[in-house]
Amino acid sequence: MAQGQIRKALSGFYYVYDGEQLIQCRGRGVFRNRGESPLVGDIVEYSLETKGSDGTIQKIMERQNELVRPPIANIDQGILVFSVKEPNFNTILLDRFLVVLESFHVHPIICLTKMDLLEDHEREELQCYIADYENMGYTVLQTYKGEEELVDRLQPILKEKTSVLAGQSGVGKSTLLNTLIPDLNLKTGIISQSLGRGKHTTRHVELIEVCNGLLADTPGFSSFDFDEIEKEELGACFPEMARTADDCKFRGCLHLKEPKCAVKAAVETGEIRDYRYKHYEQFLQEIMDRKPRY
């Protein structure tokens, strides 16, 4: 049986690349009966009745990981595209994205767009945040409109990796893809001044070969949720907290009101930034308020 990778999903069809060609396939009915669904990025086994006919996906191989929104599997890293203006840089939204990627063991990279729109005082404030995230261990790329060296800077990051490109609509994802792949000719988003957010312009998930790697563009969305994260797991999704939590007095410390909590002590000394801890508290409350699943 032939094997390949799903590179695109659209209108009930899965497009499987087997190293030589792209085969249009349907999924077996048994997947639906089991509540399973093939995802872009899946390694699958497929069959063809006759040459030139549509294929049928027979088996989904074990996944390295999978995201729910966007629906994609076997991702090495997530490039989170955030504009610094129009819409403005938003740390709580960035932290939501970072936490969910961390929970799925997808390596996050932060890509900031529209740096050229900042005033000097805004740039100084932003550099403080950039330094914070870099100290946490994240790579932060600062990009400008029309930057000629952008592809050269992105090549070593994308090489031999499967990357997902994600972020709010209107932050420059399509523009970034157009820079990487000029022939793609994606329609760039138009900012809605009245709403302060972009209109949705990307309609399906697709893996595209670029810089000797694979890059996924995804439909625009406003945030990730925490449906798959338990309260005991949240702290591990904040790298600076995870490094400190071993020094807490109690195992399973939620870093709220427990005595001799090393994380809260690090917040008081400034080792862990106060805004990050406040986001942790907010996310934890959201998880604790979540309706139980049956």
- How far apart are the C-alpha atoms of 90 and 145, rounded to whole Å? 20
Residue 168, annotated as binding a ligand: yes
Is 172 part of any known ligand binding site? yes
> Any binding-site annotation on 116?
yes
128 marked among binding-site residues: no
The reply, when asked if residue 261 is annotated as ligand binding, is yes
The response to whether 41 counts as a known ligand-binding position is no
59 is in an annotated binding site: no
171 annotated as ligand-binding = yes
202 is in an annotated binding site: no
Is residue 255 part of an annotated ligand binding site? yes
- Please enumerate in sequence order all residues whose Cβ is within 8 A of that of 179, keeping only pairs 6 or more positions apart, or say none: 150, 151
Judge contact between 117 and 149, C-beta under 8 A: no
Any binding-site annotation on 167?
yes
CA-nearest of 82, 107, 71, 63 to 216 is 71
114 in a labelled binding site = yes
Coil, strand or helix at 233: helix
**Helix residue ranges per DSSP H, the chain:** 29-33, 91-103, 120-136, 150-158, 173-180, 231-234, 239-244, 262-269, 274-288
Tell me which residue of 155, 133, 7, 145 sits closest to 74, measured CA to CA: 7
| Cα 263 from Cα 253, distance rounded (Å) | 9
Q: Any binding-site annotation on 145?
A: no
* 241 in a known ligand binding site: no
**213 is an annotated ligand-binding site residue:** no
Distance CA 229, CA 175 (A): 32
Residue 218 among known ligand-binding residues: no
CA distance 85 to 164: 22
Max CA-CA distance within the chain? 68
Taking phi over 0 as left and psi of -120 to 50 as alpha, with beta for the rest, 244 belongs to alpha
175 is in an annotated binding site: yes
Residue with token string 């020094």 = 247
User: Which residue ranges are tagged as binding site?
Assistant: 113-116, 167-175, 248, 253, 255, 261
Question: Binding site residues for Zn(2+), as ranges?
Answer: 248, 253, 255, 261
Binding residues for GTP: 113-116, 167-175
